[in-house]
Amino acid sequence: MSQWIGTANQTYAPYAMEELRRLIEGVAFTQLAAGEVFLMSCPLEREETLQAIRQQEPIFLRHLQPVDRTIEITGNANDLEQLSDMVRNAVMTFENKRVAVHIRRTPKSGFVYSAADTKAVLDAVLEELDAEPVVQQPDVIIAIYAAVDQIYVGFGAPSEMLSDWPGGAVRFQREEGQVSRAKFKLLEAEREFGLNYAEYRNAIDIGAAPGGWTSLLLERGLRVTAIDPAELHPSLMAYPTLTYLKRNASEVKFEAGTFDLLVCDMSWSPMMMCKLVLDLEPALTQGGTAIITVKLMHRKPLQTIRDVISRLSTEFRLQKAKQLFHNREEITLYLIKK
């Protein structure tokens, strides 16, 4: 038996739970934050659970926290003392390691201390144990979720929790003059899928306007062909490496193998998106990469995703499908051209 805290994007927790039910027989769930955070009781031990999830990672499961300890909330300093003692008792887990402390809470939690205060106390304890408190690139994470009357605590590597950000909520700094927040989706996809956009040379951006994705690729040194009948942000016109085709994607054709990266973030129906991507697929080199968002416009997102992947599988191999933190009513696909 093992217990876990699962987190999904707002309103998508039911789909994450459905994926987990299909993956692991006999799991049971308790809701902790409506539509977003849940407690999972699993008949498998910790390593078996992690193995099952690694083999077929759920699309809608953004973050996974093991529950190694549970503390009853008293609403006073005793809560911090118990957390501190719990860390001291696990000295072998943290000694000579880089350790991050992640604290989240449900709005009605009886735990009265702020995340900053709790982290300050536990960082001091970690220093006593010859551990190095860090914010980024930890070896081990102490994940704390304060529910209404209980604190759930788990220790683990970032890979075991699916993210090195608290609750998988990836935060990027908004830049002055940024074209659009859509840029964050492409940045998060790079992290999630282990990519480096600077390693590509020629990209095609289908449905590019206003140019959030195009701007990131241009900044990384790529030549970008942006296609959209709508206007691109004026700031992008200064790039000599930009080719802007102010047309519908269905109206353009390119020589075979022109691009090694195809990106598409259009607010169109999933099947229309598939048609446009497949029509332009010959312009992508064999082994080329595609990063595509799929809009979940219907009430059956799991079926929509299956249909899209099936349609695209004629020309692409799916590497990973994930609802990123910066996705809203959509998911992101990472594909390689066959």
Q: Average of pLDDT values for 8-28?
A: 95
Give tens-digit pLDDT for 118-134.
999 999 999 999 999 99
Same domain (yes/no): 104, 46: yes
Residue type, 161: M
Q: Residue 220 falls within a domain, yes or no?
A: yes
Contact 63, 32 (CB under 8 A): no
**Rounded Cα distance, 338 and 322, in Å:** 21
Same domain (yes/no): 128, 10: yes
Q: Residue 24 falls within a domain, yes or no?
A: yes
Same domain (yes/no): 190, 255: yes
Give tens-digit pLDDT for 182-220.
889 999 999 999 999 999 999 999 998 888 899 999 999
- Please calculate the CA angle 267-268-272 and round it to the nearest 5 degrees: 155
CA dihedral 48, 54, 56, 59 (to 10 degrees): 120
Buried b (16+ CB within 10 A) or exposed e, 228-238: beeebbeebee
Same domain (yes/no): 243, 333: yes
| CATH number reported for the structural domain that contains residue 26 in this entry | 3.30.2130.30
Same domain (yes/no): 129, 88: yes
Give tens-digit pLDDT for 158-184.
999 999 998 988 887 676 666 667 889
- Of 140, 168, 196, the last residue of a domain is 168
Q: Average of pLDDT values for 230-236?
A: 90
Q: Residue 175 falls within a domain, yes or no?
A: no
Q: Residue 176 falls within a domain, yes or no?
A: no
Give tens-digit pLDDT for 74-120.
999 999 999 999 999 988 889 899 999 999 999 899 999 999 999 99
Same domain (yes/no): 322, 202: yes
**Rounded Cα distance, 260 and 116, in Å:** 44
Return the closest-CA partner of residue 4 out of 55, 62, 64: 64
Q: Residue 75 falls within a domain, yes or no?
A: yes
β-bridge pairing 140-146 and 98-105: parallel
Give tens-digit pLDDT for 239-278.
999 999 999 888 889 999 999 999 999 878 899 999 999 9
Same domain (yes/no): 147, 224: no
What is the model's pLDDT at position 151? 95
Same domain (yes/no): 60, 36: yes
Same domain (yes/no): 109, 212: no
Give tens-digit pLDDT for 280-338.
999 999 999 999 999 997 778 889 999 999 999 999 999 999 999 999 899 999 999 99
Residue of 119, 185, 295, 322 marked active site: 295
- Of 115, 144, 168, the last residue of a domain is 168
- Domain range holding 115? 2-168
Q: Residue 127 falls within a domain, yes or no?
A: yes
Return the closest-CA partner of residue 67 out of 85, 94, 42: 42
Same domain (yes/no): 151, 296: no
Give tens-digit pLDDT for 136-166.
899 999 999 999 999 999 999 999 999 999 8
What is the model's pLDDT at position 225? 94
What is the model's pLDDT at position 67? 96
| CATH number reported for the structural domain that contains residue 197 in this entry | 3.40.50.150
Return the closest-CA partner of residue 102 out of 126, 83, 119, 124: 119
Q: Average of pLDDT values for 230-237?
A: 90
Contact 143, 90 (CB under 8 A): no
Q: What is the pTM of this model?
A: 0.90
Q: Residue 205 falls within a domain, yes or no?
A: yes
Q: Residue 295 falls within a domain, yes or no?
A: yes
Is 253 tagged catalytic?
A: no
Same domain (yes/no): 129, 15: yes
What is the model's pLDDT at position 172? 74
Same domain (yes/no): 207, 290: yes
- Of 168, 201, 223, the last residue of a domain is 168
Number of domains, the chain: 2
Contact 129, 87 (CB under 8 A): yes
